[in-house]
Amino acid sequence: EAGVVQSPRYKIIEKKQPVAFWCNPISGHNTLYWYRQNLGQGPELLIRYENEEAVDDSQLPKDRFSAERLKGVDSTLKIQPAELGDSAVYLCASSGGFGETQYFGPGTRLLVL
């Protein structure tokens, strides 16, 4: 069974440019998470989806970050405009539902110059 798929794996952009990350969760997983992992730190939750609904976006910087999960499957996380401090690894995870194990993708490493 395929795991969580993320693309691109690496992205280098200049500050003030937009960037988007894509995630395809494990088939059948209704819950999808986006995390940000700064260098030398643990992941921090940005947003959690239950199917199409964003049920926890309290940590998402809404002035520049947006996310969507159309049709309750794939998800896209966008940053516009990017700032130097956004350089990090953006991880997507999915689970079969509330209270179940989260499976992480390999992440997208973003470098903002």
Q: Which residues bind other proteins (CB under 8 A)?
A: 4, 40-45, 48, 56, 91, 93, 95, 98-107
Least CB distance to other proteins at residue 106 (A) = 5
Q: 2 vs 71, which CB is nearer to other proteins?
A: 2
To other proteins, the closest distance from the beta carbon of 108 in angstroms equals: 11
Q: How far is CA 39 from CA 77, 79, 99, in A?
A: 19, 19, 28
CB 21 within 8 A of CB 71: no
CB atoms within 10 A of CB 46: 20
- Distance in Å, CB of 55 to other proteins, minimum: 9
